[in-house]
Structure 1
Amino acid sequence: MKYFLSAFLLLFFNINSQGQPPSTESVEVVVAGLSHDHVHWILGREESDAISIVGIYEPDKELQQRYARQYDLDETLFYTDLEEALDTLKPQAVTAFGPVYDHLSVVEASALRGIHVMVEKPLAVSWDHARKMKALADQHDIHLLTNYETSWYSSNHRAYEMVHEEQRFGDLRKMVVHDGHQGPKEIGVSDEFLEWLPDPKLNGGGALMDFGCYGANLITWLMKGEEPVTVQAVTQQIKPETYPKVEDEATIILTYPKAQGIIQASWNWPYSRKDMQVYGQTGYVFADNDRDIRYMEKGKRSKKKLESRPGTL
């Protein structure tokens, strides 16, 4: 939940600052969609002055009622038409918690009205959708953010500092990012989430899209935006009886002139994980979770727990 709010704090600063200290007023937000289970992070958030939810768009009335009961929400917050919600409420920002395929339509509706957008990861189901979303954001001068939870991990930011700013391990050589869990059905995601998460059209794919995006984000950041020379991927359908339409296992290999990135995205891990290993010429740093790091420097191994420290990529 704290990482989700970090994304909003960044959006809050971008909307309000414009070179000046940010305003003390909350960013007024419309939530677009309730079928992505990460929506619980915003509806169940700790009290914060960063945002104020002024409306919720969700065409499924039963889903509306369920969330209204769960979070004691006033029924006047709900809309079944996104454009009506935006025209009536005129929010400063929209956050999308529906199928990834719908991200484009949310950006279309919002950008035309000059409203900033944050979507859940990944950004889009396809390169075509991503290009259209970027063009809309550029044309209408709005911020378009993607909420990658691992962007806000203190451990990842400390690893970056040690590698680049402090240069403690020599030149970067290899990055290995592991993300995933036992599978969405296995961990008990909601029925409405499971309806579209393993759908190749609505989610763009399976584990590759669901968890490969974290590694792509982090490795691009660690490589300071350098494009890889080659990209290769191996996908497997280990559980076709459970996920008949999409892959549930993926390994992506990125090569650079003097470094390599490996992304392991899976719905087959025996436990939930979001961790990263970064190797240099003379040592390494492992980000085991959001705050724990292990590292080797000059042949000496150490480990440390960090304070939660939101940051940006």
Structure 2
Amino acid sequence: MKILFSILVGTLAGFHAVLAQSPVKIAVVGLTHSHVHWILGREDIGDVEIVGIVESNEDLARRFTARHGLSMDLVYPSMEALFSAVSPEAVTAFGSIYEHLEVVQACAPRGIHVMVEKPLAVSNAHAREMAALARKHGIHLLTNYETTWYASNHEVKKQVSDPAVIGPLRRVVINDGHEGPMEIGVNQEFLDWLTDPVLNGGGAVIDFGCYGANLMTWLMNGQKPLSVTAELKQIKPDIYPKVDDEATILLEYPETQGVIQASWNWPFSRKDMEVYGKTGYFLAKNNTQMVSRTAGERSESIRQLPERPYPFDDPFSYLAAVVRGKVEVKPTDLSSLENNLVVVEILEAAMESAAKGQRIYLK
């Protein structure tokens, strides 16, 4: 009862904080990434206000605005047209990964904060330029992952941060993916760039390998792996002729091994994580379910966790809190620029490893 009361009090405090501040003016740049429905269909709780949408594909813009009851008056054909009409405080990017650099190039000199959908960039070259622009102009450059908002992942991190619980980390296995973008029926505009090796940077290795690289870097407190070894496959070349649809990435640390299994071939969608220590393990099964077994326990324990409190429950409340200075982004955080620069380095090394058939050592 006390726990329930504390959760209720915390939630109410969060909403009172929202009401006490003006909403952060946000522009949505790009509609081709289907994750954009997350913000377009988000309940209005007063923390953010969409002041503009950039999308050159008028048909796509009409479909999505109609679906969510938004006015086409919000839509602009380019970022230049948007910025000449409105002054957003932050931008959320929902175009191709290749376009992330262009968004930061346009926003950073204007002092506009940016949140991109995962991963940060298609390459180290893009990522480094984006980081340099963000630092030069003093903007926040965040990367959003669905798994950042999973209560189970944060509980696992809390538990393994105490070496007395299961001892040092030995092995982490992170599984992400689904049956395939074509198979699950993503819209054509999304599919066109998601399966393009330039616009997405790769296939499943980028689309889902980034989740594992992000979580692993977080669990390791920002530490880079010593080396990256990867195998990429085209199990369905008839459907995905230009990119991989199956990726296994091994990350070597001094005393820990990370295994990232990213796939467009799972029988069902999944985003789960297994963390093994010397004397026990924790499994984050989904957003709120955690399974564990530690020393002295004769069987597994299953915990159903409450969802994370505001503003750590979704990317846009978090972005608003960061912009307003209510939340500090630490270098080791999941959304941080520092973490996501390592993510891109891991993904690029994975692609190189698979192409050369050898282990790649990171500098």
TM-score, normalization by structure 1 = 0.91
Decide which moves more: 200-209 or 164-173: 164-173
Q: CA deviation at 1:167?
A: 3.4
Q: Could you report, residue by residue, the CA deviation over 1:245-287 in whole angstroms, capped at 9, with x for unpaired residues? A: 0000000000111110000000000000000000000000000
**Cα distance in 2, alignment partners of residues 88 and 165 from structure 1:** 51
Contact 1:152–1:309 under 8 Å retained in 2: yes
SS at match of 1:285: strand
Query: Within the alignment, does 1:82 sit opposite 2:79 as a pair?
Result: yes
5+ residue gaps in structure 2?
Answer: 1-13, 313-332, 335-363
Contact 2:19–2:46 under 8 Å retained in 1: no
Q: CA deviation at 1:77?
A: 0.5
SS at match of 2:244: coil
How much is the aligned-residue C-alpha RMSD, in angstroms?
Answer: 1.7
Query: Within the alignment, does 1:119 sit opposite 2:109 as a pair?
Result: no
Q: CA deviation at 1:87?
A: 3.1
Contact 1:155–1:289 under 8 Å retained in 2: yes
Decide which moves more: 219-228 or 176-185: 219-228
Aligned to 2:136: 139
SS at match of 2:273: strand
Q: Could you report, residue by residue, the CA deviation over 1:167-205 in whole angstroms, capped at 9, with x for unpaired residues? A: 310111111000000000000000110111010000000
Query: Within the alignment, does 1:195 sit opposite 2:202 as a pair?
Result: no
Aligned to 1:93: 90
Aligned to 1:149: 146
Aligned to 1:309: 308
Query: Within the alignment, does 1:162 sit opposite 2:127 as a pair?
Result: no
Question: Within 5 Å, which residues of 2 pair with 1:150-229?
Answer: 150-165=147-162, 167-229=164-226
Query: Within the alignment, does 1:251 sit opposite 2:248 as a pair?
Result: yes
Q: CA deviation at 1:23?
A: 5.9
Q: CA deviation at 1:65?
A: 1.2
SS at match of 2:283: strand
Q: CA deviation at 1:64?
A: 1.3
**Cα distance in 1, alignment partners of residues 278 and 163 from structure 2:** 14
Contact 1:86–1:110 under 8 Å retained in 2: no
Q: Could you report, residue by residue, the CA deviation over 1:80-125 in whole angstroms, capped at 9, with x for unpaired residues? A: 0112202321100000011111010011101111000000011111
**Cα distance in 2, alignment partners of residues 69 and 63 from structure 1:** 10
User: What is the identity, as a one-letter code, of the residue corresponding to 2:218?
Assistant: W
Q: CA deviation at 1:165?
A: 3.4
Q: CA deviation at 1:68?
A: 2.2
SS at match of 1:168: helix
Aligned to 1:64: 61
**Cα distance in 2, alignment partners of residues 208 and 125 from structure 1:** 11
**Cα distance in 2, alignment partners of residues 22 and 86 from structure 1:** 27
User: What is the identity, as a one-letter code, of the residue corresponding to 2:40?
Assistant: L
Aligned length, in residue pairs:
295
Of the three residues 48, 52, 56, the one matched with 1:51 is: 48
Aligned to 1:284: 281
User: What is the identity, as a one-letter code, of the residue corresponding to 2:26?
Assistant: V
SS at match of 2:166: coil
Distance 1:104 1:54, change over 3 A: same
SS at match of 1:173: strand
Distance 1:299 1:307, change over 3 A: same
Aligned to 1:262: 259
Contact 1:283–1:299 under 8 Å retained in 2: no
**Cα distance in 2, alignment partners of residues 279 and 309 from structure 1:** 24
User: What is the identity, as a one-letter code, of the residue corresponding to 2:167?
Assistant: G
**Cα distance in 2, alignment partners of residues 85 and 286 from structure 1:** 45
**Cα distance in 2, alignment partners of residues 165 and 86 from structure 1:** 47
User: What is the identity, as a one-letter code, of the residue corresponding to 2:303?
Assistant: K
Q: CA deviation at 1:166?
A: 6.5
TM-score, normalization by structure 2 = 0.79
User: What is the identity, as a one-letter code, of the residue corresponding to 2:36?
Assistant: V
Query: Within the alignment, does 1:28 sit opposite 2:14 as a pair?
Result: no
SS at match of 2:176: strand
